Structure 1
């Protein structure tokens, strides 16, 4: 009798407490979201030392899996903010690694350009 009652015409009905099914699981944070964030942080911190490539790659792969699982769970797995932050940190780690590699290549090419080509013989040698 009171299911469709409203407080005033045009307002939302009062009771929505019974919309959730009793067998639905409680929303829980995905454990992979925490792992993605931790690996992304490690990748960002070690990116300049070229060691950030491995954790960044693992973080990006785990984030794909976590997004797939969250979509399949129908909203009962949370942690999308942690996933986004972890992905951003992983990409930052990869960019820092690329910057370090490009810088090392440029420094190596400049040093090779300054080095004399061939043997450096004494001035009195033919």
Structure 2
């Protein structure tokens, strides 16, 4: 069994820190997923995707000293799932509305014997 050597850090290198924005992306993605069927999930899911883009750029620019990539990826997946659920519920509501309109009688319904 070979031991992997960890490169020594320079004493002036900053300590890696967790990104608070990455957790916010995850939470917003989760809220977007949970409220997606109510169509209200579109807003938090969209904010999560925009914040994920910004946070990923910041993490890349930090050169490995800003952690939270897994939280960003999970938040993105949840946000996209919330958007898909919102879109699906909109389509189902539109189809139900169209079926309701198709079943309704068209025109005026006169009583028999009236001209």
Deviation at residue 16 of structure 1 after TM alignment: 4.1
TM-superposition CA deviations, 1:13-49 (whole Å, max 9, x none):
x7943xx222221111111100000011111111111
State whether structure 2 residue 95 is matched by structure 1 residue 110.
no
Alignment TM-score, normalising by the size of structure 2: 0.91
Q: Which runs of 4+ in 1 moved over 4 A?
A: none
State whether structure 2 residue 61 is matched by structure 1 residue 72.
yes
Question: Which residues in structure 2 correspond to 1:49-68 (within 5 Å)?
Answer: 49-68=38-57
The equivalent position to 2:109 in structure 1, one of 99, 120, 126, is: 120
User: Structure 2: which 5+ residue stretches go unaligned?
Assistant: none
Alignment TM-score, normalising by the size of structure 1: 0.83
Deviation at residue 100 of structure 1 after TM alignment: 0.6
Deviation at residue 122 of structure 1 after TM alignment: 1.1
Q: Distance in 2 between matches of 1:15 and 1:114?
A: 71
State whether structure 2 residue 32 is matched by structure 1 residue 47.
no
How many residue pairs end up in the alignment? 113
Q: Distance in 2 between matches of 1:92 and 1:70?
A: 24
Larger Rg: 1
Larger RCO, structure (CA 8 Å, separation 6 or more): 2
